């Protein structure tokens, strides 16, 4: 399960590091807290060291993941041997 979460985070960081600079804007939402830094500055009550690289949490932004899944025709799975992770990339053209 955590392997899948790490893969999603890597995809989110790839988008922030390569795609966002090319198009000039964008925000990535992923699973759980941002893991861009090994130790988050928030833990030591500091400002984010890489605010332009930060990956936000869907749930932390009050985005209804269940509703997005439903509207996308996807199913959320939360079973003992299956789990779903969702990410979201938002940008202006």
pLDDT of residue 42: 86
* 46 CB-near residues (< 8 Å, 6+ apart): none
Length of the chain: 93
Separation CA 9–CA 92 (nearest Å): 22
The pTM of the full predicted model, rounded to 2 decimals, is: 0.77
pLDDT of residue 1: 56
pLDDT of residue 74: 85
pLDDT digits (tens, 9 = 90+) for 2-54: 777 788 888 999 999 999 999 999 999 988 888 888 888 988 899 999 988 88
């Amino acid at each position: 399960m955590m392997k899948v979460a790490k893969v999603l985070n890597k995809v989110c960081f790839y988008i922030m590091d390569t795609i966002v600079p090319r198009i000039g804007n964008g925000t990535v939402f992923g699973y759980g807290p941002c893991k861009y830094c090994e130790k988050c500055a928030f833990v030591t009550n500091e400002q984010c060291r890489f605010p332009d690289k930060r990956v936000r949490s869907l749930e932390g932004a009050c985005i209804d993941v269940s509703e997005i899944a439903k509207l996308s025709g996807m199913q959320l799975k939360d079973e003992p041997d299956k789990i779903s992770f969702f990410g979201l990339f938002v940008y202006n053209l």
